Amino acid sequence: MNFHAVKAIYRTEMARMMRTVVQSIVAPVLSTSLYFVIFGAAIGSRITEIDGVSYGAFIVPGLIMLSIMTECISNSSFAIYFPKFTGTIFEILSAPISFVEVVLGYVGAAATKSVIIGLIILGTASFFVDLHIAHPFIMLLFLVLISVSFSLFGFILGVWADGWEKLSIVPILVIMPLTFLGGTFYSISMLPPAWQTISMFNPVVYLISGFRWAFYENSDVAIEVSLAMVCGFLLICLYIVHWIFKSGYKLRA
């Protein structure tokens, strides 16, 4: 394992975050704060509690998931697409480093950024609502696993995209709707039976549900099922990344 290569890629990507701190950190935290103000104050005044939890506190896990999934995909997809766009990807591919080290550098940096943003949003949320985390270790486990999984997914998206517009297609047209329909602002149990069944086909439901369980010990899906879904998604992304480097898909052309 060439740790110097991993460190070089990782530090380069982390330095980019520090150069664009307003876009990387301030913007997602500010947008999430607006969600708290709008949904927590406007809707929270009409919906006092869900499953024994105040509405403002109930939406915190969902909002954190919404932010970190968006940031993971954005950071990792741009990180690998930009070298493709400029042609510097060939310098990385010709260097004496393996694909594992390349992925560790890019994905590790994207996941680190997302975890930092998630923790900052969690701290920001404490100013708006009274938070209680029943299982801090499980919460951190979900935060890290989901950050790594969606950073890998973003890496795959960055390799697949052959234009700047394609980088935004999946986050805007797929991830965002699935997140809003995945129980970010409500419990699946509040829906009619038919829509509850349909919601179970939304993979984001399992991510938000498991993360919410770590806070309040109530969820729409069993915690074991949520954890299995996250691990399954992680393994699928790892396999696809392995195949990309093994086949050279859109990297060596």
pLDDT, position 205: 93
Q: Which residues are registered as beta bridge partners of 54?
A: 49
Question: How many angstroms separate the CA atoms of 212 and 63, rounded?
Answer: 11
- The pTM score is 0.90
pLDDT, position 226: 93
Ramachandran angles phi, psi of 32, nearest 5°: -65, -35
Q: Which residues are registered as beta bridge partners of 50?
A: 53
Question: How many angstroms separate the CA atoms of 250 and 253, rounded?
Answer: 6
Which residue type does 202 have?
N
Question: How many angstroms separate the CA atoms of 109 and 13, rounded?
Answer: 6
Tell me 53's DSSP state.
E
pLDDT, position 252: 67
pLDDT, position 52: 78
pLDDT, position 112: 92
pLDDT, position 97: 82
pLDDT, position 138: 94
Kindly list the averaged pLDDT for each block of 10 residues, start to end, along the chain of length 253. Answer: 83 81 74 74 68 83 88 88 81 81 91 90 83 91 94 92 81 86 85 89 92 90 92 94 86 67
